[in-house]
Amino acid sequence: MRHRAYDTGDTCLIVRGHTCPSRVRFRTIPTMTRIRKKAAGNRGVPKVPVPAKVTGIKPGRNATINDIARLASVSKKTVSRVINQSPLVQEATRARIQAVIDKFGYVPDPQARGLAFRKAFLIGLVYDNPNAQYIVNLMEGALDAVRNSEYEVVVHPCDRKKPDFIAGVRRFVERQKLRGVILLPPVSENDELTRALTAADCSYVRITYTQLDDPSRIVISNDRLAVAEVANYLVSLGHKRIGYIAGPPGFRSAVERLAGFREAMSARGIQFGSELIVEGGYTYESGVAGGEKLLALSPRPTAIFASNDEMAAGVYRVAHRLGLSVPGDLSIVGFDDGPLASRMLPSLTTIRLPIRELGRLAANKILHPEAAGGTHAMVTPLEPHLVIRDSCQPPPR
């Protein structure tokens, strides 16, 4: 009869249907008298129980992911998911695996595992953005996601206007053997770059303002809706002549924010002429330049919306230099709600953009692609909202 093996899912293998060949002879080994007497003399001694499972490893030493998987009766992939805090593991299974990890002091070796997977345990952050606070906040969110996992975050500033921009990003990805990259706007809007990353077998997640890609590869911020809230708020205070400092024309965020503001002003029946719109660069200096242009108009605006906080700070500088009171003579609104906003005098009314959360969600989509994909992938945008402080009031009469 042939042997048949059955994998029970445990650490052992059950073999069924075994019979001995008929011609096999068994040799009898005579029992020695001394041994029999010794056994007889020990009949009253209780037997020492045999351990139910021999680990084959010493606690705190020589444990591998294979050992942890074997002792917890799970696959290596499940152990890896627990190590990387994947949400796709049941709590009971997670607790059982973690108990084994803790008992044997297992610590993953990123270099060894990187060799096994031909990828380093690194996530890249690729950006070309003049707003330093935005980058810092987003990086903190990515670090939140990788904390207590095997992964680390590396950053790569670039210049999207250079002819070798895409080749440079690809060299960075291949040299570091990145598991994936987070693309910040406006770099995230470059389809040629994402095609190059796909060719390099590197996953990516775009942070953007509209659905440019598969839901598993994007995290969206609904800026258009947020700036409409600013327009509605200022109009509700009685402002009808509102200046606007836009972002750089090459940024999708600048396009979305200006479109949302225009739509809201039109819906309210308020004129919003082109003379009230000036181009900025998401920097303090461009806020100063934009504030000077708008406040030189006659009649000048009674309120200015700067489409980030750095530019709003520049408008504060111009108003102070011209002897205008904020908010008595001029109301000012920003966008981002970074640390600067609450430290200004008066404190700045602004849109709170959940930048840190954007970074955390993007990193999680790279860490846990099995949770990011599928029909239930996150397509609902994160919703920025208005934080009202002390920089706005009804216009002077």
286, 280 in Cβ contact below 8 A?
yes
Residue 22 to residue 32: CA distance in whole angstroms: 29
Q: Tell me if the pTM is above 0.75.
A: no
Helix, strand, or coil (residue 5): strand
Residue 11 confidence (pLDDT): 28
Longest Cα–Cα distance in the chain: 120
User: Tokens 């200004």 — which residue?
Assistant: 344
Rg of the chain over Cα atoms, rounded to whole angstroms, equals: 32
Q: In 3-state terms, what secondary structure has residue 12?
A: coil
pLDDT confidence of residue 149: 82
Give the pLDDT score at 119: 62
pLDDT at 25: 37
The H or E element spanning position 334 is: strand 331-336
Torsion of CA 119, 362, 247, 310, to 10 degrees: -100
> Which residues of the chain register pLDDT less than 70?
1-62, 84, 108-119, 371-380
Single out the residue of 305, 214, 291 nearest to residue 260, CA to CA. 305
Main-chain dihedrals φ then ψ at residue 228, nearest 5 degrees = -65, -35
Domains in the chain, please, with CATH?
Answer: 1-20+58-106 (1.10.260.40), 114-221+357-372 (3.40.50.2300), 223-353 (3.40.50.2300)
